A and B are shown apart, each in its own frame.
Chain A
Amino acid sequence: MSAIILAVVGMVVFFLGYKYYSKFVAERIYRLDPDYVTPAHKYKDGVDFVPTNKWVLWGHHFTSVAGAAPIVGPAIAIYWGWLPAFLWVVLGTVFAAGVHDFGALVLSVRNKGQSVGTLANKIIGQRAKVLFLFIILILVLMVNAVFAWVISNLFINFPSAVLSVFIQIPLAIWIGYLVYKRSGNMLFPSIAALLTMYITAIVAARVPALQIDLPRYFGGAENTVIFGLDGISMSFFVWIIVLMIYVYIASTLPVWKLLQPRDYINSHQLMVGLGILYLGLLFSNPEVTAPMMNTEATTPWFPLLFITIACGAISGFHGLVASGTSSKQLNKETDARFVGYFGAVGEGLLALIAIIAVATFFANPGAFTAAYDSFGTAGNIGLTTFIQGAGQLATGIFIPADIAATIVAVIVVSFAATTLDTSVRLMRYIISELGNEYKIKSLTKMHVATTVAVVASAALVLLPRGPQGFGSGGYLLWPLFGTSNQLLAGITLLLITLWLKRQGRNYLVTLIPMVFLMIMTLWAMGQQVFFQWSGLGDAEMNLLLFMLGSVIFVFAIWIMLEAVSALRKNNTNIPKDRDQSM
């Protein structure tokens, strides 16, 4: 089957979802009012509350939520064949992610632009706020560990991409200086920076001397370097330490110096990446070679699929973006449909092309099943396969596969680095907030909070042992990342459901995805915790994953109990819409 058919079917479902389902939800369920005075107008202050063009907000929402996560999840989940991943991404985006992102935006707009955390406190109570804070803490900790591993893994597998990624740092600092100290324009210098990065990548792909290949320097897997570590383990160790030092500096510097110019360049890369992939698909018209269902899979797809793909199907992180910043800047309430729902569709498109890039990479189904021989291997090779598959798609627009693979590796590392920076910064804020809450003054200090965040993340990524040894087991944390992300989405959907119930409207559109998500998450986590990591099943005991998984499992049950209790009583903490407009 041609992969273009898969892309077209996915796009048609997204289009119908946006055109009809989101319209139905906007008019009949959320009942958007074009005359409602949004917080952006009501509390306009030029900083947080600023009425903003809906296209700008959509662009911001899309570039914030579309990163490396919607690529990694589908690239792993294709282990069960392309059909389960495809269906979950397409239907999840239409019925869960779209409604969730859109709903978080509307809920926040109708509640003075408050964030989901504040609303959890207001609607359910103090307990929910603490639960929310801990889930976010676990989520960002997972993000830090997983993405530090992802970047190190890519540096090891694609040494030609390393130089380009590191060149981006001085280029971004130069752009920051140019724009904020010399009042320059950001668009053209950033395009020049991007071209410099890609030229470096192209040259490095062909000149081995420019490839920073740590495993080769350390003598490969057979050579023991120090402390009994072989070349690969040592490479992971060095890259993770380098990354942690980098994120420490990046997250404590003023935003204009590095983060904003770097994210600006990376947003161009999102467009370049999507352009290369979709145009490559159109011109190369590849066949889907991965099986529809992998009958040789030893790990069943149900229910693990639903926590393997979080971003790309539904993700709680979007609720943080929607209620944290976008809701304070919404010009008209009716814009929420375009910004929230269509933002989720944008991420769905990225996940869809990730599935296609992997599904078309192999020569035949046999090669696929030989490479994806277990769920563990899928975690390990998923992203690398995506990059090679993307390189193969790019040959359709006459870019040689090795150069395209290096450029796509640069793009994916840049996405992952953006996520890592943001996440460490967020973790620093949460640790400071917990320090305030529990009166631990030292934790409120910037450098102490950042040190705690960085050391905890480094420990978490270095502890799990993978097949390649020290530091290579970071992918084992992926299901935990997916689960904590889904739990966050569950809380947001619960809040929207309670708000709808209070307004006397049909709340099934949010209740059904919420119940589905929570049951699948509980089921999958329970299975992993009790039969995989506890040592009771066939697998060996993994204490770290068992403990982390148990904590998340308890949180999931806690949310379910809060949900049942909140749905049973008539929640008067939520004002009715009539009271709001008065």
Chain B
Amino acid sequence: MLDFKKVLELYDAMLRQGHRTEIARELRDEDDLFMILCYSDMLGIPNPAFYYTLELYPHMLERFHEWHLRMGMDKSPINGFRCC
């Protein structure tokens, strides 16, 4: 029998598809800005909240790795980050 919930999900995905890429890109840009704010101290920009943002380190590691690969850097540009 036709699964009504699945049909609705498919229909929803069809209609969202149009701007999916643009929204994902906008979100990625915001995430990049957030990452810079979190680790600005490592880049030489003083950040009074660095002690606290460092707590996010384990959660951000995977995303940071994706970010530096996307930016064309094969290895982590920051010494303290041991993602690869």
Bound Cα distance from A267 to B18, whole angstroms: 10
Q: Which of A221-271 contact B (CB under 8 A)?
A: 254-256, 259-260, 263-264, 267-268
Bound Cα distance from A254 to B27, whole angstroms: 10
Bound Cα distance from A439 to B28, whole angstroms: 28
Bound Cα distance from A256 to B13, whole angstroms: 15
Chain A residues contacting B22 (CB-CB under 8 Å) are 255, 260
Contact of A47 among B10, B12, B17, B24 (CB under 8 A): B24
Contact of B70 among A45, A256, A264 (CB under 8 A): A45
Chain B residues contacting A53 (CB-CB under 8 Å) are 10, 13
- A60 near B17 (CB under 8 angstroms)? yes
Given A45-B70, A187-B8, A255-B26, decide whether A60 and B21 contact each other with a Cβ distance below 8 A. no
Nearest chain B CB to A254 CB, angstrom units: 6
Is B75 engaged at the interface, CB distance under 8 Å to the other chain?
A: no
Is A402 engaged at the interface, CB distance under 8 Å to the other chain?
A: no
Chain A residues contacting B70 (CB-CB under 8 Å) are 45
Given A45-B70, A47-B25, decide whether A260 and B19 contact each other with a Cβ distance below 8 A. yes
Is A302 engaged at the interface, CB distance under 8 Å to the other chain?
A: no
Chain B residues contacting A63 (CB-CB under 8 Å) are 14-15, 18
Interface of B is mostly: helix
Q: How large is the interface on B (under 10, 10 to 19, 20 to 34, 35 or more residues)?
A: 20 to 34
Chain A residues contacting B10 (CB-CB under 8 Å) are 53, 55-56, 59
Contact of B21 among A47, A256, A263, A268 (CB under 8 A): A47
Chain B residues contacting A56 (CB-CB under 8 Å) are 10, 13-14, 17
Bound Cα distance from A109 to B6, whole angstroms: 28
Chain A residues contacting B12 (CB-CB under 8 Å) are 186-187
Residue of B nearest to A422 (CB): B18
Contact of B16 among A45, A58, A186, A325 (CB under 8 A): A186
21 sampled A-B residue pairs with Cβ under 8 A:
A47-B21, A47-B25, A50-B20, A53-B13, A55-B14, A56-B10, A56-B17, A59-B10, A59-B11, A59-B13, A63-B14, A63-B18, A64-B18, A187-B11, A256-B23, A259-B19, A264-B16, A264-B18, A267-B14, A268-B15, A325-B21
Taking Cβ atoms with an 8 Å cutoff, the residues of A that contact B are 45-48, 50, 52-53, 55-60, 63-64, 186-187, 254-256, 259-260, 263-264, 267-268, 325
